[in-house]
Structure 1
Amino acid sequence: MKQRQLVLLLAITFLFSFKGVAVKDTIIKGQKGKPPVFSNVIYQGDDKIYKNYPLKPDEFYTPILQGCYPDPAITRKGDDYFMVCSSFAMFPGVPIFHSKDLVNWTDLGGVLNKVSEFNPHDTGISAGVYAPGITYNPHNDTFYMIVTAFSGGLGNIIVKTKDPMKGWGSPVKLGFEGIDPCIFFDDNGKGYVVHNDAPDKGKQLYEGHRVIKIWEYDLANDKVIPGTDKIIVDGGVDLSKKPIWIEAPHLYKKDGRYYLMCAEGGTGGNHSEVIFVSDSPKGPYLPSSNNPILTQRYFPKDRANKVDWAGHADLVQGPDNKYYGVFLGIRPNDKDRVNTGRETFMLPVDWSGTFPVFENGLVPLEPKIKMPKGVTENKTGKDGFFPNGNFTFTENFTSDKLDYRWIGLRGPRENFISLTKKGLQIKPFEVNIKEVKPTSTLFYRQQHNTFSFAATIDYKPESEKDLAGIVCLQNERFNYVFGVTKKGKDTYILLERTEKGQSRVIASAKIEIKKPLRLQVKAAGDSYQFSYAVNGVDFENLGESVSGDILSTNVAGGFTGALVGLYATAANDAQPE
């Protein structure tokens, strides 16, 4: 796999010096006409697997976080569990969730939510921030989130809090290279940081050869201690077999011994999780004889209900004192393409022997697992808990607090949205969705392979530079724009396909707007159909159904899943035929 190599290329390409971007600089000056107002947004997931595998009272679905929530890390303080994921150039950075039982999760927003401290304004969508670690230190009653940030010259950073419900402190830059850091606190309170890095200069043996390093950590000054770094894993489980991309290390202590768990094989079809043990945090580490302890790489490519790419895991003790692991995986569509991105899965873990093993992690993954003993109610999708399975999300923009599932790209959503009596108003930036800049688009992750997303838009464009509607986006170079604009004195609705940065309008129709317009995209696997209703009720298809190929990582590359968004721009360049 060459995906992790792309990370380094992205890092080089997009690692710019920190520059603040004022909202007034990106909104068109002297804009005429009224900004679009969106209302009655309905996202509905309808995947067959959830119909074919209904839940029993003691079960819950995995993935526990559907859509682009990759690279999970988890920690526990008492009865409280906190889990974080990668977010790349999405804003805020590092989504965080809370649970009391590992089944029912509450979305707490993002850890890095101040643009003055984390500003991915000029990065491609797959840069930004990724592969976080989160650890609770009982010795000083403090939570630590550590992560690699490819924006603003940050590099590896750490933030702290006494209470994740109340926000986090400012990022502290750490003095080491590499990616995927995690912090560990020993029984005596001593801290260590482990991370992926390149081999020592001149010692790289093959493409994809990486190492795991450990540093001692100065808790008083929040920095790694110079000169304490040591390579504790070279290459992976067996260097003679040229393993690639040993990464995502997590360090644990159990029964007086130290366990180092890592991903190996690259974030793709060869992905796996492996484990090592030592009598000292700084090694030497010996691999388990039964590695890997989690993978999906051994099974037929055309298997039904396929889950693949399993790895990048973290462990925690559940409320029943049994261990559980969270990890990333993907669920391809009918064309074996990955549109929903890498999602967060969970499995119970058997740690009755020397080494932990993911239960049923070495057979094809099932869509549901048993709730921990003592947990009596699955409340996902109810009472404010994050939904999974098939669900409908309805947004009327009437709440004082906008749901955290709505996110910005390269900047805060608050820079362009405002709530009105009629719905959500988006003030258009003079920025096109194809630019590597903050866009005036309110995004929602695609969480199913079969779904619909519909919105009512009250809008009359004033010029050919004005456009508003729906965008389906994998990244800035691969996306669909479905919106309303002007051509001369006439109003048009159009569908634009952008592939490899090259755009073309593939369907358009002249319309007369007398009342708010209803826009909809429906996907059935790889097939996406865009439609509209001028009277808000009777839908007409705009053109034929189109392929979702450009919304997949297979075609578009990168590390994110598809996003669907409410889009407005004052820099439109799509013109109807």
Structure 2
Amino acid sequence: MMIKKLKNISSALLYASSVFLFGACQQDAATSGTEALFSNFNYTGNDAVYDNYPLPEGQFYSPILQGCYPDPSITRKGEDYYLVNSSFVMFPGVPIFHSTDLVNWKQLGHVLDRESQLDVKNAGISEGIYAPDIQYNPHNDTFYMVTTQISAGIGNMVVKTDDPKKGDWTDPIKLNFDGIDPALFFDDDGKAYIVHNDAPDEGKELYKGHRVIKIWDYDLEKDQVIAGTDQIIVDGGVDIQEKPIWIEGPHIYKKDGKYFLMCAEGGTGGNHSEVIFIGDSPRGPFKPAATNPILSQRHLDKSRTDRVEWAGHADLVEGPGGAWYGVFLAVRPNSNNLVNTGRETFILPVDWTGKWPVFAGGMEALKPYVPMPEGVSNQTQTGRYFPNGNFSFQDNFQQTELDARWVALRGSREKFLRRHDSGLHISPSAVSINEKKPISALFYRQQHKDFTAEVDLNYLPRSHKDLAGITCMQSEAFYYTLGLTKKNDEYYLVLEQMSDGVSTILAQEKIKHPEDLSLRVASKNDYYQFSFKQGDADYRAVGDVLSGNILSTDVAGGFTGALIGLYATSANHIAWDTQ
């Protein structure tokens, strides 16, 4: 991640989060106003690439996790594989997935799911949790997750568990070093190390973006780096004479008696790549491969169809039958060459029969599918596993637990959610969606360039301060919202655009009978259309077709993808005229 070095990180504060379990919900003291009842959510993705490239026999789609699931890290215990992603200010944090074959994945939940683990309540949407690394230590049969929390003065931290399937990750332990992107390595002799990105020593920065990779000895008894053991093992990148930027995301592997250090280089945008080094010790010295980079799309023709870009930030794992695989982030630009779905998790086979690991086709234009491991059956479209390709997701909110794909921002979901047989109640908080505070909104990641999302809404606002509806959000400063509110004893659907913090009312529609509305947002070729209906009537557009530019990383900045939200507030900030 391209951020400045963390300096003078204060002592750790308690984190604020909790697991949402459907059942009785005690309304938070900050909430007020009438509740909004949401039901029958339906998301359908329809990207042309999956119609143009139907799966051949023996192949599976990549990305394996569509939408904002960046910075993947993977580990293995026996036949069980576990994968985690960055989550920024999403609450709960760090989604964790399980597979036995690297093709079919189930989401176990989240690593950081308690108030004592996560404190992002005042953070911007691209702050919070960066680049988690998950590792299994066979010497003590323990799983570790290390990450950087860019909020509340916490910085680098570690949690652990003896079984990710059960959860029960510990409260965080603050780690005593600066920088970002920490990763653990457990050697055959039982010794442990942490590697991470950092700034050069004071006074030795040679150019903008100059970073280093450091290593520390790690005390497994104290869960802390050992003071005085830090050492720079890569300065700048593969060739510092070329002024490479943002060497980061390091991982160490041991194979055939040699140590391999793999890192991202070039920044997490259009110049992103993956590079590798070899050494005789975890502390090096490390020599770069002559074939670097080993994974990138930056050098390819930008006019190619079905482009994948920004590939890098990879992690390797030995898969079924001894074959190696690499997971990594990349993006799929839309028809306007903008990125709305965010950084996604891709996978490729890796040939490591020679000296260096070679991503299969990693330097060529990435294809929509890759070969499956031998003997594996693709079940990603059966409903039992996390889907990819074109798919639909329906939720009537009748399950005993909320689907793990739903997240809040900056605070726990149970503070504003209540289950009912008729759907999901959201108790509006006195916080608006444009504030850097916990808001009463539930979000689903946009997972396709072209999609339709619909939801039923039963809601009676009491004043112009009350609003509930749907939102497409890139950040607190860039979003669209279609919400039902009230003014002068009349009800209105109001379509708002927030662009770089400037609010504009794009359209309004008077509603005579506001109960039992259905709201829809659809995206096609980077254009979004909001609409509504009542009863058996057809959907009717509210306002014009809208540019998706403000929902892109390119315009809004940051590291997240667009989110589709069910939102309610008793602090509606919109100033509008009903005449």
Equivalent residue pairs, number: 568
DSSP-derived class of the 2:4 partner: helix
1:28 Cα deviation (Å)? 3.4
Distance (Å, rounded) in 2 between the aligned partners of 1:432 and 1:124? 14
Matched residue, 2:258: 257
Q: Given residue 494 of structure 1, which amino acid in structure 2 is its aligned partner?
A: V
Alpha carbons of 1:232 and 1:536: their partners in 2 closer, same or farther (altered >3 Å)? farther
Q: Given residue 480 of structure 2, which amino acid in structure 1 is its aligned partner?
A: Y
Distance (Å, rounded) in 1 between the aligned partners of 2:9 and 2:236? 27
Residues 407-452 of structure 1: per-residue CA shift (max 9 Å, x gap): 0100111211111121000000100000000010000000000000
1:84 Cα deviation (Å)? 0.4
Matched residue, 1:352: 353
Q: Is the 8 A contact 1:118 1:152 kept in 2?
A: no
Aligned ranges for residues 206-355 of structure 1 at < 5 Å? 206-355=207-356
Q: Given residue 129 of structure 2, which amino acid in structure 1 is its aligned partner?
A: V
Distance (Å, rounded) in 1 between the aligned partners of 2:565 and 2:495? 14
Residues 292-317 of structure 1: per-residue CA shift (max 9 Å, x gap): 00000111212100000000000001
Distance (Å, rounded) in 1 between the aligned partners of 2:433 and 2:7? 23
Residues 238-288 of structure 1: per-residue CA shift (max 9 Å, x gap): 000000000000000000000000000000111000000000110100000
Aligned ranges for residues 51-200 of structure 1 at < 5 Å? 51-167=51-167, 168-200=169-201
Residues 467-487 of structure 1: per-residue CA shift (max 9 Å, x gap): 000011000000011110011
Q: Is 1:8 matched with 2:11?
A: no
Matched residue, 2:395: 395
Distance (Å, rounded) in 1 between the aligned partners of 2:433 and 2:514? 27
Distance (Å, rounded) in 2 between the aligned partners of 1:391 and 1:338? 20
1:123 Cα deviation (Å)? 0.1
Q: Is the 8 A contact 2:15 2:114 kept in 1?
A: no
Q: Given residue 457 of structure 1, which amino acid in structure 2 is its aligned partner?
A: L
Residues 87-126 of structure 1: per-residue CA shift (max 9 Å, x gap): 0000111111000000000011210111222120000010
Distance (Å, rounded) in 2 between the aligned partners of 1:141 and 1:324? 23
1:495 Cα deviation (Å)? 0.5
DSSP-derived class of the 1:8 partner: coil
1:455 Cα deviation (Å)? 0.3
1:146 Cα deviation (Å)? 0.5
Q: Is the 8 A contact 2:7 2:178 kept in 1?
A: no
Alpha carbons of 1:48 and 1:127: their partners in 2 closer, same or farther (altered >3 Å)? same
DSSP-derived class of the 2:183 partner: strand
Q: Given residue 565 of structure 1, which amino acid in structure 2 is its aligned partner?
A: G
1:320 Cα deviation (Å)? 2.1
Distance (Å, rounded) in 1 between the aligned partners of 2:139 and 2:513? 63
Residues 508-565 of structure 1: per-residue CA shift (max 9 Å, x gap): 1111125400000000021000000022541110011000111001000000000001
Alpha carbons of 1:515 and 1:464: their partners in 2 closer, same or farther (altered >3 Å)? closer
Distance (Å, rounded) in 1 between the aligned partners of 2:536 and 2:29? 32
Residues 480-504 of structure 1: per-residue CA shift (max 9 Å, x gap): 1111001111100010000110101
DSSP-derived class of the 1:139 partner: coil
Matched residue, 1:528: 528
DSSP-derived class of the 2:165 partner: helix
Matched residue, 1:27: 30
Q: Given residue 109 of structure 2, which amino acid in structure 1 is its aligned partner?
A: G
Distance (Å, rounded) in 2 between the aligned partners of 1:286 and 1:20? 40
Q: Is 1:466 matched with 2:466?
A: yes
TM-score between the two structures when normalised by the length of structure 2: 0.96
Q: Is the 8 A contact 1:15 1:151 kept in 2?
A: no
Alpha carbons of 1:243 and 1:359: their partners in 2 closer, same or farther (altered >3 Å)? same
Aligned ranges for residues 553-572 of structure 1 at < 5 Å? 553-572=553-572
Alpha carbons of 1:14 and 1:380: their partners in 2 closer, same or farther (altered >3 Å)? farther
Alpha carbons of 1:381 and 1:91: their partners in 2 closer, same or farther (altered >3 Å)? farther
Distance (Å, rounded) in 2 between the aligned partners of 1:12 and 1:357? 37
Q: Is the 8 A contact 2:467 2:484 kept in 1?
A: yes
Q: Is the 8 A contact 1:43 1:454 kept in 2?
A: yes
Alpha carbons of 1:485 and 1:152: their partners in 2 closer, same or farther (altered >3 Å)? same
The more displaced of 20-29 and 470-479 is 20-29
Q: Is the 8 A contact 1:16 1:152 kept in 2?
A: no
Q: Is the 8 A contact 2:309 2:332 kept in 1?
A: yes
Distance (Å, rounded) in 2 between the aligned partners of 1:85 and 1:461? 38
Q: Is the 8 A contact 2:477 2:499 kept in 1?
A: yes
DSSP-derived class of the 1:165 partner: coil
Residues 347-380 of structure 1: per-residue CA shift (max 9 Å, x gap): 00011111111010000000001110121x1111
Provide structure 1 residue ranges, at least 5 long, that are not aligned to the other structure.
none
Q: Given residue 561 of structure 1, which amino acid in structure 2 is its aligned partner?
A: G
Residues 133-190 of structure 1: per-residue CA shift (max 9 Å, x gap): 1111111111111000112221100111110011111111110000000000000010
Provide structure 2 residue ranges, at least 5 long, that are not aligned to the other structure.
18-25
Matched residue, 2:421: 421
Residues 167-224 of structure 1: per-residue CA shift (max 9 Å, x gap): 1111111100000000000000100000000000000000000000000010111100
The two structures, once aligned, show a CA RMSD in angstroms of 1.7
Q: Given residue 30 of structure 2, which amino acid in structure 1 is its aligned partner?
A: I
Alpha carbons of 1:160 and 1:441: their partners in 2 closer, same or farther (altered >3 Å)? same
Matched residue, 2:486: 486
Distance (Å, rounded) in 1 between the aligned partners of 2:558 and 2:146? 22
Q: Is the 8 A contact 2:551 2:562 kept in 1?
A: yes
1:321 Cα deviation (Å)? 0.9
Residues 50-102 of structure 1: per-residue CA shift (max 9 Å, x gap): 01111123111000000000000000000000000000000111111000000
TM-score between the two structures when normalised by the length of structure 1: 0.96
Matched residue, 1:361: 362
Matched residue, 1:373: 374
Distance (Å, rounded) in 1 between the aligned partners of 2:69 and 2:235? 29
The more displaced of 232-241 and 294-303 is 294-303
Q: Is the 8 A contact 2:213 2:233 kept in 1?
A: yes
DSSP-derived class of the 2:50 partner: helix
Q: Is the 8 A contact 2:97 2:109 kept in 1?
A: yes
Matched residue, 2:23: none
Aligned ranges for residues 423-442 of structure 1 at < 5 Å? 423-442=423-442
Q: Is the 8 A contact 1:457 1:516 kept in 2?
A: yes
Q: Is the 8 A contact 2:82 2:99 kept in 1?
A: yes
Q: Is the 8 A contact 1:416 1:426 kept in 2?
A: yes
Distance (Å, rounded) in 1 between the aligned partners of 2:435 and 2:14? 17
Distance (Å, rounded) in 2 between the aligned partners of 1:254 and 1:115? 40
Alpha carbons of 1:216 and 1:302: their partners in 2 closer, same or farther (altered >3 Å)? same
1:383 Cα deviation (Å)? 4.4
Q: Is the 8 A contact 1:262 1:313 kept in 2?
A: yes
